[in-house]
Amino acid sequence: MRQNIVAGNWKMNMTLQEGVELATEVNNIVASKGANCGVVLGVPATHITEVVKAVDTAKVSVAAQNCADKVSGAYTGEISASMVKSTGAGHVILGHSERREYYGETNAILKEKTDLTLANGLTPIFCIGEVLEEREANKQNEVVKTQIEEALFHLSAEDFGKIVLAYEPVWAIGTGKVATPEQAQEIHAYIRSVVADKYGAEVADNCSILYGGSCKPGNAKELFANPDVDGGLIGGASLKAEDFHGIISAF
List the catalytic residues: 96, 168
- Report the nearest approach of ligand 13P to the CB of residue 232 (Å): 8
Q: Is 19 in the site for ligand 13P (CB under 6 A)?
A: no
**What is the closest distance, in whole angstroms, from the C-beta atom of residue 34 to ligand 13P in the complex?**
23
Neighbours of 247 (CB within 10 A): 26
Residue span 80-109 as binding mask against ligand 13P, x where in contact by CB under 6 A, dash where not: ----------------x-------------
Residue closest to ligand 13P when measured from CB atoms: 235
Task: Pick from 4, 6, 9, 188 the residue near ligand 13P by CB under 6 A.
Answer: 9
Tell me: does residue 213 bind ligand 13P (CB under 6 A).
Answer: yes
CB of 157 to ligand 13P, least distance (A): 27
Choose which of 67, 235, 241, 244 interacts with ligand 13P (CB under 6 A): 235
Q: Is residue 239 involved in binding ligand 13P (CB under 6 A)?
A: no
- Residue 134, number of CB atoms within 10 A of its CB: 18
Q: Does 234 bind ligand 13P (CB under 6 A)?
A: yes
Q: Which is nearer to ligand 13P, 29 or 178 (CB)?
A: 178
Interacting residue with ligand 13P among 151, 233, 247, 248 (CB under 6 A): 233
User: Identity (one letter) of the amino acid at 4?
Assistant: N
Q: Is 130 a residue that touches ligand 13P (CB under 6 A)? A: no
Tell whether residue 214 is a contact of ligand 13P (CB under 6 A): yes
Region of 43-51, 142-150, 167-175, 197-205 interacting with ligand 13P (CB under 6 A): 167-175
Q: Which of 97, 230, 103 is nearest to 168 (CA)?
A: 97
Dist. CA 65–CA 196, nearest whole Å: 27
Residues 168-197 that bind ligand 13P (CB under 6 A): 168, 173-174
* Stretch of residues binding ligand 13P (CB under 6 A), selected from 29-37, 110-118, 128-136, 210-218: 210-218
Smallest separation, CB 16 to ligand 13P (Å): 21
Q: What's the rounded Cα separation, in Å, for the pair 153 and 156? A: 8
By CB under 6 A, name the binding residues for ligand 13P. 9, 96, 168, 173-174, 212-215, 233-237
